[in-house]
Structure 1
Amino acid sequence: MKRKKGSRVTLQDVANHAGVSRATASLIVRNSPNISEGTRNKVLKSIRELGYVYDRVAANLRSQQSTTVGLIITDIANPFYSDLLVGVHNALEENGYTVFLGTTFDSDKKQEKLLSTMLEHRVGGVILCPVSDSSKETIERISHLNIPIVLAVREIKELQCDYVGIDYREGSKLAVEHLIKKGHRRIAFLGGSSESSAWKERKIGYYMALEEAGIDIDESLIIENTVTREGGVHAVTKALLLETPPTAAFCFNDFVARGVMQGLKEAGLVPGEDMAVVGFDNVQETVIYSPPLTTVSSFPRLIGTEAAKLLHERIADQEREQKRIILQPELVVRQST
């Protein structure tokens, strides 16, 4: 029987073309290992020739279980999130999931739209790196979603969810203590937003290090800005205009630190000599910054891996007890201090 021109190629069409049963063709598109190599190659050849596309949504509806999961991050241009994505992808791929990626650019509206889109595509669960100022409405929406959610990187206290992150207090304390040991007493905290839980935790660690060293806290040295290279440039430019500029900068992350070093160079100063600079995250590029950046390792790939494992566990058992995994940071000293 000839297929009508323009109609969708079905699995039965593939089976007829390859000379196998529909059940055999179905096993092959679902990657079953219980098929001979010869039969598999024959069916795959028919799939290519006919242009068959597996309807995963329909399959999910039939099985009542989705093999697609969502990952929502704030900025794919930030190497931290690129590394986190690798960890998520590798761990989920091992368990047969496909990752559906969305980027919010730290916008609550975009986050809300992405969550809606992922629900429409019937994802089996979501790993969410929340925006800095997630609205009450978004929080309530997530709370009432009937799908597994794992938070990563940033925590939302109002949400009862599995969470994976780093000990930001300890990480920032390590960074500032290092600068104090180098003789610095005017240490700026540059970049990030006070609406973010990760920023608040970093600030607590910053305060702790200064207080333990007997150094008075100067609020003018805490300068918020976007978590971008441009944000770093603007933050350090503002810091240099202070009546008594800082001699060192603890930056919200490595992305900001890169901008801070660029801003110093534009001002005719030498990073690591005229001002010490410490970042946070230890993304791969930090070793080729000029100078190489002293930073705090936050292990983004491991965060991604652990978040993916938690999501897989939650999908398998939605009644299990919630888990909160906090990784311990490590200071990596290079030439920028």
Structure 2
Amino acid sequence: MRRPTIKDVAADCGVSKATVSLVLRDSPQVGQVTKQRVRESMARLGYVYNRRAADMRSQRSQTLGLVVTHLRNPYFAELTMAIEDAATKSGYTLFQGFSRDEVPQQRRLLETMAEHRIDGLILLPAHDSRPEDLLETVGAGQLAHVLITRSVRGYECDYVGADNVRSGVLLGEHLGALEVSTVAFLGGAEGSSARRDRIEGLGSGLRRSGVTSPLALSLPAIGDEGGIPLVDRMLERIPCPDAIVAYNDMYAFGIMNGLRARGIVPGRDVAVASFDDVPDAAFQQPPLTSAAGHPEIVGAQATRLLLDRFEDPDRVPSTVLIEPELIPRSSTTSWSGRA
């Protein structure tokens, strides 16, 4: 008969493996009632405290690293706060860094964090990251890590993010139900996996709704280009479409300003929709239709997946996709072409 593990104890008393580990260290982060319940499960299952494993755990720094691109997008700010909250509750201190979406800066941050012996890393990769970029830093050294929000094609590790394909499908079906005929997708870095998935889902949802030529134009952003110049570039190429889908809400805010500067009324003359549903989306004029990506869930799940990796370092990498939610608002529902 195999010996009971921390995982068995956690399942028996309905807590996480991280909580069981904290009880084993008699951490003040866990309440007395929970400690008692966990200890009763240990006794009932015959769990034997592995001193050698405890000695190995004691060598940990109890620190995690988080590298994101920037905090200009409120979605990333909410994501960061969710990760910090989950890490703190599990007894870890979080070190944070910002790559500014540049691979060289990302490499420097990852090397520095590894040198400071963090126990694990959560990474939102720069948009043009390659598998070898990660292998040179975190992959080769076997540092436990989880990617969030963006995957890196050809690189296998734990990943958590919103289901971007599904988000695109929801927006495509919504716009198709409004009987739009032409749609432009604006913004996002050309090499971004999230952008690719959102466009794929959008096209699928539009076709499913009977829109025969769904994407009249797809324009990636150039560098730090915002929504206003994207509108100018779009109108140089095509007439104003029935609908514009922005890569995210931050682009959408600029796009609506750019449309107004051209005398085009967002929501009435052209439907505008987006992704992320940051808090300010509901307060735009008109309020912005957006597919919510739930950063608070992404952050909590990513932290949990990383802590689980500590307990089972050899398990097969997991991909967790968070179900999105479409929030329809008058930036699409008031479109005058609907009639």
Q: Fold match, TM over 0.5?
A: yes
In 1: Cα distance, 2:28 partner to 2:161 partner: 37
Deviation at 1:32, TM superposition (A): 6.2
Deviation at 1:118, TM superposition (A): 0.6
Aligned match of 2:77: 82
- Structure 1 runs of 4+ aligned residues shifted over 3 Å read 30-34, 60-63, 213-220
Task: Give the gaps of 5 or more residues in structure 2.
Answer: 1-24, 30-54, 333-339
Aligned match of 1:70: 65
Question: Closer, same or farther in 2 for the Cα pair 1:214/1:150, shift >3 Å?
Answer: same
Deviation at 1:305, TM superposition (A): 0.6
Encode CA deviations 1:201-250: one digit per residue, 9 max, x unaligned: 1111122123334434476511111586x522122222223343212111
Aligned match of 1:145: 141
Aligned match of 2:337: none
In 1: Cα distance, 2:76 partner to 2:223 partner: 12
In 1: Cα distance, 2:260 partner to 2:172 partner: 22
Aligned match of 1:172: 168
> Which residue identity is paired with 1:126?
L
Deviation at 1:183, TM superposition (A): 2.2
Deviation at 1:136, TM superposition (A): 4.4
Alignment of 1:84-233 (within 5 A): 84-141=79-136, 142-217=138-213, 221-225=217-221, 230-233=225-228
Question: Closer, same or farther in 2 for the Cα pair 1:64/1:272, shift >3 Å?
Answer: same
Encode CA deviations 1:132-191: one digit per residue, 9 max, x unaligned: 110343132232122101011011232221111121111111112211211211111111
> Which residue identity is paired with 1:116?
E
Give the TM-score taking structure 1 as reference length: 0.78
Structure showing greater radius of gyration is 1
3-state SS, counterpart of residue 237 of structure 2: coil
Encode CA deviations 1:268-309: one digit per residue, 9 max, x unaligned: 222111211101011111111221111001101110110011
In 1: Cα distance, 2:28 partner to 2:139 partner: 39
Encode CA deviations 1:104-149: one digit per residue, 9 max, x unaligned: 1111111111101111211110001111110343132232122101
Match of 1:334 among 326, 329, 335: 329
In 2: Cα distance, 1:260 partner to 1:243 partner: 15
Task: Give the gaps of 5 or more residues in structure 1.
Answer: 1-29, 35-59
Alignment of 1:6-25 (within 5 A): none
In 1: Cα distance, 2:100 partner to 2:241 partner: 30
In 1: Cα distance, 2:134 partner to 2:119 partner: 19
In 1: Cα distance, 2:273 partner to 2:28 partner: 50
Question: Closer, same or farther in 2 for the Cα pair 1:266/1:277, shift >3 Å?
Answer: same
Aligned match of 1:38: none
Are 1:321 and 2:316 matched, yes or no? yes
Deviation at 1:321, TM superposition (A): 3.2
In 1: Cα distance, 2:215 partner to 2:324 partner: 25
3-state SS, counterpart of residue 221 of structure 1: strand
3-state SS, counterpart of residue 82 of structure 2: helix
Match of 1:250 among 245, 263, 277: 245
Deviation at 1:328, TM superposition (A): 1.1
> Which residue identity is paired with 1:201?
D
Comparing 233-242 with 159-168, greater Cα deviation is found at 233-242
> Which residue identity is paired with 1:111?
Q
3-state SS, counterpart of residue 184 of structure 2: strand
Aligned match of 2:45: none
- How many residue pairs get aligned? The number is 282
3-state SS, counterpart of residue 156 of structure 2: coil
Question: Closer, same or farther in 2 for the Cα pair 1:319/1:245, shift >3 Å?
Answer: same
> Are the equivalent residues in 1 in contact too, given 2:190–2:221 (CA < 8 A)?
no
3-state SS, counterpart of residue 175 of structure 1: helix
User: Percent same amino acid at aligned positions?
Assistant: 37
